[in-house]
A = this chain, B = another copy of it.
Amino acid sequence: DFLNALDEVKPAFGADESELEKHLAYGVIHYSKSITSILEDGLLYVNNVRKLERLKHMTVLLHGPSASGKTALAAHIAMKSDFPFIKFITPTDMVGFRDEVAKKDYMHKIFTDAYKSPLSLLIIDNIERIIEWNPVGPRLSNTILQALVTLLVTPPPKGHRLLILATTSQRTVMEQLDVTESFDYQIAVPAVNNLQELGAVLNEVGAFGGDQAAVSEVLNTLREYTGSDSVGVGVRTILTIAESADTSPDPKGWFVEKMAGLIARYNVR
């Protein structure tokens, strides 16, 4: 099918391949249909920018709760794109800069580099951090925000094509800042929603020494504790707790305790 066809394309990356793999420590687990659908849409946009006459420039926003896998999915789509120029822009890259102007210039420089390749893909990770968003005040760097929004909507020079994937866990903020207006498409990346999806994740990753009965037991205990099937915790958080739990004297008990705490916390909010 459509997705598999793309999977067969052999990627030929530039210098940033190991950068891409770094964001895929646990791979991409297909624990729900929405994961497949996200990858299909992502690869359609990749194809549009590669081939269509007038769509030489496209901007896509991946948004979703903390630890839900936004960065990993963007990295996965980039790996599959086979574009000759792929580059990350992350808050960590900018932490050493003196001020917002230096950060803005760095970001501008990477766009300028991308414009030199005929076919480029940029991942702008965690745009709320890039713009130094802070909900108390509220504060942000208007200098970086203005540059970001302007660079997002600026088409590459004649004869060049550019796909931009951006991620955020603060979509409402981005709406308020009119940043979402600058994206052609938006993709929602959900948390692990319910106990069934949680079970899929735990089994896939071989939690509790691969003991599927233990997984069932844990799911049942959680259902009793929380009184529902809802989870609402990001896939990365789940994978981390599962790994910690294995070193505890009581892995199942420890896992249930921490997970129950998080489920309570996220569902209250």
Contacts and interface: CB of A to CB of B under 8 A. Distances in A.
Contact of A134 (B2, B66, B94, B146): B146
Given A101-B98, A146-B129, A184-B240, A135 B178 contact: yes
A142 B151 contact: no
A150 B129 contact: yes
A92 B129 contact: no
B181 A66 contact: yes
A26 B52 CA distance: 14
Nearest to A237: B184
Nearest to A176: B136
A99 B101 contact: yes
Interface residues of A, number: 60
A137 B94 CA distance: 24
Interface in A119-137: 129, 132, 134-137
A181 B269 CA distance: 13
Contact of A146 (B91, B98, B181): B91
Interface of A: 2, 22, 25-26, 44-45, 47-48, 51-55, 66, 91-92, 94-96, 98-99, 101, 105, 108, 129, 132, 134-140, 142-143, 145-147, 149-151, 154-155, 169, 173, 176-178, 181, 184-185, 237, 239-240, 243-244, 247-249, 258
Given A55-B240, A94-B150, A136-B140, 20 more contacts: A2-B249, A22-B155, A25-B54, A44-B244, A44-B248, A45-B244, A47-B247, A51-B247, A52-B247, A54-B239, A55-B243, A55-B244, A91-B146, A95-B151, A95-B154, A96-B108, A99-B143, A129-B146, A135-B177, A136-B177
